[in-house]
Amino acid sequence: MNASLTMVMPDDMHVHLRQSDMLDLVLADTVKQFARAIVMPNLNTPIISTKLAIEYRNMILNSLGKVKDGLKCFEPLMTLYLTDLTTTDEILKAKESGIVFAVKLYPNSVTTNSHVGVVDIFKNCYKVLDMLQMIKMPLLIHAEVSDSRVDIFDRESVYIDKVIIPLRKKYPELKIVIEHVSTKEGVDYVYSSPNFTAATITPQHMLYNRNIIFSGGLRPHYYCLPILKSELHREYLVKAATSGDKRFFLGTDSAPHDTKAKENSCGCAGCYSSYNAICLYAEIFDKAGCISNLEKFASLNGAYFYDLPINKQTLTIHRNENIVPDKISFKDLNIVPLASGETVQWHI
């Protein structure tokens, strides 16, 4: 067993950095292990224009200035929040800005701050989709139906049948990322599409099955969307991620909420995995006997899909048993990191 592992510096292709004090609290964790990150646009005021994306990027760079040595080694890759009203001009503006790398599709009301999300993608967004296909800008999809009549564990597979399969027929060369894929059906869909389709996979969907949410009581810090699935799905995700297949890459979906919002009669969805994400992934790859494929998943596959250069920096992690802290804090904010209290075999 190697005592350490050096790889091309990873990228996090799906992260929620939030804003204000929360941004200041979480950014250092992302920066210590990732060279770049695809930053999600679902702030309280969603990032629906290039102008807002530039402002948000400046906010992140400003916060980065407070992180020691952060400025020289981290690049936030911004995204636009797709709405029924997004115009092709706005997409072109985003492309020309050089700072926006993708457009995020949230079905209306599916998760945190998705109230302005798309109601009918086929009726309201066809011009924008044509444009995205033409300029090769990826469409990132939260692939779940928001219809409350559909069982929460089936929302991804229903979305794939109802939206992604018809979408793919209409836009054969549109770059699509199924974000935080969580089911066998989702993975199988990606396997069935040789080009232009990829998926990010979170650590929580590979570390745990849904039993953890109810183990010994209700555990709100394991509640995320898409919700954790059964063991069959978990094993299937691990197999896809650790295979080295270029269509699967790292996206933590790290989504911090203050403990007051999580430990609540109506708690928010999201796991904070940025604290030690690369170590959690290393743990998963190690257990699967595929640690040699971690670099592909974490540092290469995503860059290829996004047509980005491979990072020049490297990251070394060490085999060093350690316990994940119960919480991390800043001012009056507290976050419980994913796997808190558990022993992890790797250390940054």
Give the footprint of Zn ion on this chain (CB under 5 A).
Answer: 253
Residue 1 CB, nearest distance to Zn ion (Å)? 34
For Zn ion, the closer of residues 142 and 247 by Cβ is 142
Active-site annotation holder among 29, 245, 253, 258:
253
User: Is 225 marked as a binding-site residue?
Assistant: yes
The response to whether 301 counts as a known ligand-binding position is no
Residue 84, annotated as binding a ligand: no
| CB-nearer residue toward Zn ion: 245 or 253 | 253
Establish whether 347 is an annotated binding residue: no
Per-residue DSSP letters for 122-165? HHHSHHHHHHHHHHTPPEEE------TTS-GGGHHHHHIIIIIH
Q: Which residue is nearest to Zn ion (CB)?
A: 253
**Contact call for residues 142 and 107 (beta carbons, < 8 A):** yes
Q: Compute the least distance from the CB of residue 40 to Zn ion, in Å.
A: 5
Q: Say which residue the tokens 């510096």 belong to.
A: 9
Is residue 170 a contact partner of residue 196, using CB atoms and an 8 Å limit?
no
- Separation of alpha carbons 307 and 304, rounded Å: 5
294 is in an annotated binding site: no
Whether 39 contacts 17, CB under 8 Å:
yes
CA distance 227 to 164: 19
Note whether 213 and 223 are within 8 A (CB).
yes
Closer by beta carbon to Zn ion, 253 or else 295: 253
The nearest distance, CB 53 to Zn ion, in angstroms, is: 17
Minimum CB distance to Zn ion, residue 305 (Å): 17
Instruction: Tell me the sheet residues that pair with 6.
Output: 316
**Could you confirm whether 253 is annotated as catalytic?**
yes
Given the complex with Zn ion, which of 13 and 128 has the nearer CB atom? 13
Query: Which residue ranges are tagged as binding site for Zn(2+)?
Result: 14, 16, 104, 142, 180, 253
Which of the residues are catalytic?
A: 253
Query: Which residue ranges are tagged as binding site for substrate?
Result: 16-18, 42, 142, 225, 257, 269
